[in-house]
């Protein structure tokens, strides 16, 4: 390689490292026009597309890099990582194994092999690779986090909790994702076994991190603390941000029916009037599953979506359904927008609020006269109270309470249907689809 070429590659790399991505991209492509097999330009282009989530282009460049130099560890490991992101788990395992064969002392390839193996249910391989990763770097909180999930799938709950706990302790900034992982493991284990064996551990978690609102909320739900009236906003933001990219696929796996049930009830109400030109608010719109069918009801007047999670809104935006997407807590948004909407829907959202008084007052204020709200609510089969905070962190409500609170908020019930909303573990979650009108 001549001196000029070396300097050009150095320049491209430093542009990439300094975040000047489009300049780095141009320079790498220029290098490839002279030297089509330049390994540095190929890997850097792969990295450039990878960080922009263009995994298909990244894969092509990494594959070219690997075909030019099949002994290049970064090319091999980055290709494996990219295939993992593309959910091509078997291929990811193959390339991660090849990367390990090239370099036995780097944790990255073991983590990719471990995580990809988990996805194809090769749990033994997952545990073994992730154990190697934590042995190579015992300070890596994420390697412990992944290992905790592999142990959980192996039904080795004690090891799962101890690794998730270690991840929490290792993360310097007490990364909330590690707390959420630990909380979810407690919850999943509680669904399968008795929670009693873990109560002391959960109490210690809540005590040690008493200033963390997410730990407080998840821990107290697990400990059956019924004084809580509403889900913590930081908890909601965090779980739905983390969940957002997989939301649509995970929910279809849970046989999630809330949007379809609301669509059906809307159809029954509006019958042949298919385009009633309503100004609509999708409360807790998430990734936009309700937006799809609401659009035809909102011609000309507009369809707004409000949600507390930026991650969920980002996915909704890509679907190009909504006139406006608003990042806000729902009650405060409703309070700031009086007499604005003809129709509101809320699919599987009010389950994050226990005491519904303030919420329905705000709904009333924000609806126009004769405006309508359609929502789902999960049924309280746990006790005879108005609402109950389930260990999952979601509230369930009694129908009597809903009727009482709607009446108190001057919202008249139009229709109530008892339906299955989704699965939870082996069980059906039953609930109500309700339509009410502002008097
Ligand atoms: C289970 S998802 C349902 C999403 C969507 N309605 C659907 O059916 O696909 C609940 C959504 O409500 C949002 N959410 C929960 N509590 C909220 C609040 N207090 N304010 C605004 N959004 C909230 C969450 O961020 C999440 O996107």
Pair 379, 399: CB distance under 8 Å: yes
Tally of domains within the chain: 2
Looking at the domain assignment, is residue 175 inside a domain?
A: no
Looking at the domain assignment, is residue 205 inside a domain?
A: no
* Res 171: pLDDT: 93
Give the distance (Å) from ligand 1 centre to CA of residue 438. 23
* Res 299: pLDDT: 81
Ligand 1 and 247: CB distance under 6 A: no
Q: What is the 3-state secondary structure (H, E, C) of 294-319?
A: HHHHCCCCCEEEEECCHHHHHHHHHC
Give start and end residues of each alpha helix (H) in 18-156: 21-34, 39-51, 55-68, 73-85, 89-102, 107-119, 123-136, 141-153
Q: Are residues 397 and 292 in the same domain?
A: yes
Q: Are residues 59 and 156 in the same domain?
A: yes
User: Where a domain ends, among 165, 193, 226?
Assistant: 165
Instruction: From 180, 281, 284, give the residue whose CB has the most ligand 1 atoms within 8 Å, as the site to mutate.
Output: 284
For residue 334, which of 314, 356, 319 has the smallest C-alpha distance?
356
* Res 294: pLDDT: 94
Q: Are residues 46 and 132 in the same domain?
A: yes
Give the distance (Å) from ligand 1 centre to CA of residue 330. 9
Q: Are residues 157 and 19 in the same domain?
A: yes
Within a 10 A sphere around the Cβ of 337, how many other Cβ atoms? 17
Looking at the domain assignment, is residue 86 inside a domain?
A: yes
Ligand 1 and 354: CB distance under 6 A: no
Q: Are residues 307 and 410 in the same domain?
A: yes
Q: Are residues 139 and 40 in the same domain?
A: yes
Burial 59-98 (b: 16+ CB within 10 A, else e): bbbbbbbbeeeeebbbbbbbbbbbbbeeebbebbbbbbbb
* Res 1: pLDDT: 59
Q: For residue 328, which atom of ligand 1 is closest to its CA? A: 21
Ligand 1 and 294: CB distance under 6 A: no
Give the distance (Å) from ligand 1 centre to CA of residue 269. 24
Give the distance (Å) from ligand 1 centre to CA of residue 398. 20
- Per-residue pLDDT tens, the chain, 439 aa: give them: 577 888 899 999 999 999 999 999 999 999 999 999 999 999 999 999 999 999 999 999 999 999 999 999 999 999 999 999 999 999 999 999 999 999 999 999 999 999 999 999 999 999 999 999 999 999 999 999 999 999 999 999 999 999 999 999 999 777 899 999 999 999 999 887 767 788 999 999 999 999 999 999 999 999 988 889 999 999 999 999 999 999 998 888 889 999 999 999 999 999 877 677 899 999 999 999 999 999 989 887 899 999 999 999 999 999 999 999 999 999 999 999 999 999 999 999 999 999 999 999 999 999 999 999 999 999 999 899 999 999 999 999 999 999 999 999 999 999 999 999 999 877 899 999 999 999 8
Ligand 1 and 312: CB distance under 6 A: yes
For residue 77, which of 107, 39, 36, 32 has the smallest C-alpha distance?
107
User: Where a domain ends, among 165, 185, 214?
Assistant: 165
Q: Which residue has the tokens 């994702």?
A: 177
Q: Are residues 251 and 379 in the same domain?
A: yes
Q: For residue 352, which atom of ligand 1 is closest to its CA? A: 16
CATH number where 60 lies: 1.25.40.10
Give the distance (Å) from ligand 1 centre to CA of residue 309. 8
Task: Name the residue with the closest Cα to ligand 1, atom 8.
Answer: 347
CATH number where 431 lies: 3.40.50.150
Q: Are residues 148 and 288 in the same domain?
A: no
What whole-number distance in Å separates Cα of residue 168 and Cα of residue 161?
11
Identify the domain containing residue 158 by its residue range: 3-165
Task: Name the residue with the closest Cα to ligand 1, atom 26.
Answer: 286
Q: Are residues 346 and 245 in the same domain?
A: yes
Instruction: From 316, 349, 350, give the residue whose CB has the most ligand 1 atoms within 8 Å, as the site to mutate.
Output: 349
Give the distance (Å) from ligand 1 centre to CA of residue 312. 8
Looking at the domain assignment, is residue 208 inside a domain?
A: no
What whole-number distance in Å separates Cα of residue 156 and Cα of residue 153?
8
Ligand 1 and 406: CB distance under 6 A: no
Task: Name the residue with the closest Cα to ligand 1, atom 24.
Answer: 284
320, exposed or middle or buried, with CB in 10 Å at 0-12, 13-18, 19+?
Answer: exposed
Q: For residue 258, which atom of ligand 1 is closest to its CA? A: 8
Ligand 1 and 291: CB distance under 6 A: no
What whole-number distance in Å separates Cα of residue 200 and Cα of residue 223?
10
Q: For residue 287, which atom of ligand 1 is closest to its CA? A: 9
Q: Are residues 265 and 124 in the same domain?
A: no
Q: For residue 230, which atom of ligand 1 is closest to its CA? A: 19
Ligand 1 and 289: CB distance under 6 A: yes
Q: Please, what sign has the CA dihedral across residues 138, 141, 147, 152?
A: positive
* Res 276: pLDDT: 76
Looking at the domain assignment, is residue 217 inside a domain?
A: no
Q: For residue 251, which atom of ligand 1 is closest to its CA? A: 9
DSSP structure string for 390-403: -TTS-EEE-HHHHH
Question: What is each CA distance from 266 to 180, 184, 207, 251, 409, in whole angstroms?
Answer: 36, 35, 47, 22, 22
1, exposed or middle or buried, with CB in 10 Å at 0-12, 13-18, 19+?
Answer: exposed
* Res 58: pLDDT: 98
Ligand 1 and 240: CB distance under 6 A: yes
Looking at the domain assignment, is residue 179 inside a domain?
A: no
Task: Name the residue with the closest Cα to ligand 1, atom 10.
Answer: 349
What whole-number distance in Å separates Cα of residue 42 and Cα of residue 28?
8
List, in sequence order, every beta strand (DSSP E) within 284-426.
Answer: 303-307, 324-327, 341-346, 367-378, 387-389, 395-397, 411-424
Ligand 1 and 235: CB distance under 6 A: no
Give the distance (Å) from ligand 1 centre to CA of residue 400. 24
Looking at the domain assignment, is residue 177 inside a domain?
A: no
User: Where a domain ends, among 142, 165, 188?
Assistant: 165
* Res 195: pLDDT: 73
Looking at the domain assignment, is residue 226 inside a domain?
A: no
What whole-number distance in Å separates Cα of residue 49 and Cα of residue 42?
11
Residues with Cβ within 8 Å of 256's Cβ and at least 6 positions away in sequence, in order, are: 348, 421, 422
């Amino acid at each position: 390689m001549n001196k000029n070429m070396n300097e050009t590659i150095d320049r491209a790399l430093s542009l990439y490292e300094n975040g000047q991505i489009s300049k780095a991209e141009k320079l790498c492509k220029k290098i490839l026009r002279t030297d089509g097999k330049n390994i540095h330009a190929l890997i850097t282009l792969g990295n450039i597309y990878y960080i922009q989530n263009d995994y298909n282009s990244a894969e092509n460049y990494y594959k070219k890099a690997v075909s030019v130099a099949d002994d290049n560890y970064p090319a091999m490991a980055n290709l494996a990582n990219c295939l993992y992101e593309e959910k091509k788990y078997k291929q990811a395992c193959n390339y991660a194994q090849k990367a390990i064969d090239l370099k036995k002392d780097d944790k990255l390839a073991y983590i990719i092999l471990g995580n990809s193996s988990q996805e194809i249910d090769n749990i033994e391989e997952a545990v073994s690779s992730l154990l190697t990763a934590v042995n190579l770097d015992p300070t890596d909180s994420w390697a412990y986090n992944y290992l905790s999930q592999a142990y959980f799938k192996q039904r080795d709950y004690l090891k799962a909790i101890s690794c998730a706990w270690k991840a929490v302790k290792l993360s310097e900034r007490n990364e909330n994702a590690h707390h959420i992982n630990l909380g979810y493991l407690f919850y999943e284990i509680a669904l399968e076994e008795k929670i009693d064996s873990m109560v002391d551990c959960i109490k210690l978690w809540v005590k040690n991190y008493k200033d963390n609102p997410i730990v407080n909320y998840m821990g107290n739900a697990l400990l059956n603390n019924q004084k809580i009236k509403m889900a913590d906003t930081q908890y909601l933001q965090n779980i739905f941000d983390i969940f957002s990219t997989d939301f649509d696929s995970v929910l279809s796996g849970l046989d999630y029916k809330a949007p379809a049930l609301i669509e059906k009830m809307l159809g029954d109400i509006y019958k042949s009037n298919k385009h009633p030109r309503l100004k609509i608010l999708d409360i807790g719109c998430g990734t936009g599953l309700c937006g799809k069918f609401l659009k035809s009801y909102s011609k000309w007047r507009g369809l707004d979506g409000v949600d507390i999670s930026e991650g969920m809104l980002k996915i909704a935006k890509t679907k190009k359904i909504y006139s406006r997407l608003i990042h806000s807590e729902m009650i405060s948004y409703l309070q700031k927008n009086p007499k604005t909407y003809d129709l509101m829907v809320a699919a599987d959202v009010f389950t994050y609020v226990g005491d519904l008084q303030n919420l329905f007052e705000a709904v009333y204020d924000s609806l126009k006269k004769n405006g309508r709200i359609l929502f789902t609510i999960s049924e309280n089969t746990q006790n005879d109270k108005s609402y109950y905070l389930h260990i999952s962190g979601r509230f369930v409500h009694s129908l009597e309470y809903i009727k009482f609170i709607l009446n108190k908020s001057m919202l008249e019930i139009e229709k109530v249907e008892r339906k299955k909303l989704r699965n939870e573990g082996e069980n059906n979650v039953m609930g109500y689809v309700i339509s009410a009108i502002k008097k």
